[in-house]
Structure 1
């Protein structure tokens, strides 16, 4: 009969929790009920109790959480009501029903057990404290509290809550104290270790943040670095722009000179009045090219330094021109000496910035002169060509312009069958 009653109770509890328990109960569900039942049977096997007491404990383990299907508050009292109705329908004796009801109420965490049966069911209900799956069960409970809207714990808050619960909890039965208590203490030690490690990490982060804020407020280090980085980047960009402008002017003048040499020079024998305009034009182009080349021509320094220069902080190791002839070991030593002194690094960057500025000033000054010469040369050349043509009224324009074809020119239309009659 006992086995039949237990099986009926299992079926009843399974159907009840499956049908009426919300999906948010991911901890207090039938899985938890089965876990408590297994722990109860483990305690029964290792305790001296009667068959009737064993039946009371198994029924309690199955029925202790069915009150959650009615209300989340005071679920023990609601569970007692449902258990009483079910057990009466099954024809269970009143004294057994009374004992089951008392044991269900004894599962309240803030209530002390008053007899051996209540001690066993309390230990079975809290058996996960002393099991390897404690962390898993604990996370399911935390998620359930979040899903039910009771409280949303952070990992650190939940760890502290578990430490408090495990510290305040105590097993009652001799078997639980011998077999589950060591594992509970191990679980508690792990939690405390994680808390200590987390606290140490937070302390380090707070200390870092404190010193970082203090260092940031007391020292302009970050602002200085930003200044040097921005200034050097801008100087390099300006240098690239200057080189691009010089290259453009070189290309334009090279094309002009090629065209003049190929077409205009050959006309000077028959058109001597174009000699001086051509010379003027070519002279200005050549001068523009020379100035462009001078503006972009690199200036390489000696590439050597002495140890005294490094010790006296007189050499700028950030520029290749100061070390390209040195041996690797000497250069590594010099860099090692420089990085030891923050002031030396800033001094080197300052020198680099200064001399970059000097180079830029020279480039842009020469480029300004070059573009001015090119502009004036174009104007003077056009004027000289105009004067030369004006002073020679009998000039045939076809003799001046380059030949493109024996039958076609820029000013004479190509003769076709149609326009031959017009002529």
Structure 2
């Protein structure tokens, strides 16, 4: 280390120890020491000229010393303190100006241009790619809280960190990317995982509050066992319907991929007379695939209903208002009237629930019947197609002329 750097180190260490506000728990001496260390690592890997490296390290030592005077715009104050010190040491004006520019490049809204500016900026943000990122983030949060006098919500701080890592930061040198980008991505993944966990916990807490409030406000309703039975049965039917739709979509996607691959790779080869033996297996293969797609679509295709009812239907209890297909074309006033009439009549209400459960069962029976047929066709199609291709290849190889 040069004599000048030794003097700078002594000055900065004593200044930060003696003059830095105790509320500044992140941008303190330990942060400066870490930035100097990382700047030295980057400079060594970049193989900087010794003079350039020295100016980079000078800027690293001084870059946050302005916190002893001011918080907002501390970079400008840091550059001023550096200029005063370097002037007293007889450093040339052009070197002082370069050091100041490197320090000012640590502003987050400034785009670094020179290699030294980029290296210091990356060194200043090296904690983003550290395994101890969580500890650094907590220190920074505490510093902001102490300086502002306001408590930061955990979710707000988490969202701010996620946004910064996602949109607000990037390493400016290939060396920094190679050294820290991988861990930075892991840190971001951990933040996203924490965010998801907090959302789930908040959702559960909100649900518990709603349940407690409901228990306080509700009156005892008769026949709760019957209502629970309907609720559970309807939910189970809807879940089974979702499962059926998911299975149909899986088959539809798989067969669509198979068709696209066949059209792009297999069909063009059939133009060649030498590949004529592949025509029949290809037709079999594509035919089964198309049939599977059609059956998958039929399994998920919705039925369209009339969507209207009359007052006479309500009076005679002929319409089930719990199914949207029976009222989606009615105006709001008529629907509200019908619902009020149904809720006044216990038998009509439970009868509608029973019908809803029954027709859901019919829909499920149709869906699962089509799904079973689709899977069977798909399975048979794969087997038959493979056998057809094997036979075709075997017959072609058997009929090939022997030279």
Per the shorter chain, which TM-score range?
0.5 to 0.7
Separation in structure 2 between the aligned mates of residue 173 and residue 103 of structure 1, nearest angstrom: 15
User: Counterpart in 2 of 1:90?
Assistant: 89
1:179 aligns with 2:179: yes
Moved more, 148-157 or 106-115: 148-157
Separation in structure 1 between the aligned mates of residue 115 and residue 150 of structure 2, nearest angstrom: 34
1:190 aligns with 2:208: no
The superposition leaves residues 364-418 of structure 1 with CA deviations (integer Å, 9 ceiling, x where unpaired) of xxxxxxxxxxxxxxxxxxxxxxxxxxxxxxxxxxxxxxxxxxxxxxxxxxxxxxx
The superposition leaves residues 249-277 of structure 1 with CA deviations (integer Å, 9 ceiling, x where unpaired) of xxxxxxxxxxxxxxxxxxxxxxxxxxxxx
The superposition leaves residues 6-53 of structure 1 with CA deviations (integer Å, 9 ceiling, x where unpaired) of 111000001111111111111111111001001101101111321111
Separation in structure 2 between the aligned mates of residue 63 and residue 151 of structure 1, nearest angstrom: 29
**Unmatched tracts of structure 1, length 5 or more:** 222-423
Alignment of 1:285-304 (within 5 A): none
Separation in structure 1 between the aligned mates of residue 185 and residue 46 of structure 2, nearest angstrom: 23
Please give the secondary structure, in 1, of the residue aligned with 2:23: coil
Separation in structure 2 between the aligned mates of residue 33 and residue 15 of structure 1, nearest angstrom: 12
CA apart distance, 1:117: 1.1
CA root-mean-square deviation: 1.7
The superposition leaves residues 277-324 of structure 1 with CA deviations (integer Å, 9 ceiling, x where unpaired) of xxxxxxxxxxxxxxxxxxxxxxxxxxxxxxxxxxxxxxxxxxxxxxxx
The superposition leaves residues 339-375 of structure 1 with CA deviations (integer Å, 9 ceiling, x where unpaired) of xxxxxxxxxxxxxxxxxxxxxxxxxxxxxxxxxxxxx
Question: Which portions of structure 1, spanning 4 or more consecutive aligned residues, are displaced by more than 2 angstroms?
Answer: 149-152, 207-221
User: Counterpart in 2 of 1:114?
Assistant: 113
Separation in structure 1 between the aligned mates of residue 78 and residue 179 of structure 2, nearest angstrom: 30
Separation in structure 2 between the aligned mates of residue 112 and residue 147 of structure 1, nearest angstrom: 29
- Going from structure 1 to structure 2, the CA distance change for 1:150 and 1:109 (only over 3 Å counts) comes to farther
Please give the secondary structure, in 1, of the residue aligned with 2:26: coil
1:23 aligns with 2:13: no
Q: Which has the larger radius of gyration?
A: 1
1:144 aligns with 2:143: yes
The superposition leaves residues 67-100 of structure 1 with CA deviations (integer Å, 9 ceiling, x where unpaired) of 1111112111111111001011112122211111
Separation in structure 1 between the aligned mates of residue 64 and residue 116 of structure 2, nearest angstrom: 17
Alignment of 1:277-288 (within 5 A): none
More helix by share: 2
TM (normalized to structure 1)? 0.50
CA apart distance, 1:140: 1.0
TM (normalized to structure 2)? 0.53
CA apart distance, 1:215: 4.2
Please give the secondary structure, in 2, of the residue aligned with 1:102: helix
Alignment of 1:7-406 (within 5 A): 7-149=6-148, 151-167=150-166, 168-220=168-220
Separation in structure 2 between the aligned mates of residue 150 and residue 106 of structure 1, nearest angstrom: 29
CA apart distance, 1:217: 2.7
Separation in structure 1 between the aligned mates of residue 206 and residue 18 of structure 2, nearest angstrom: 50
CA apart distance, 1:66: 0.9
Separation in structure 2 between the aligned mates of residue 48 and residue 86 of structure 1, nearest angstrom: 27
**Unmatched tracts of structure 2, length 5 or more:** 222-403
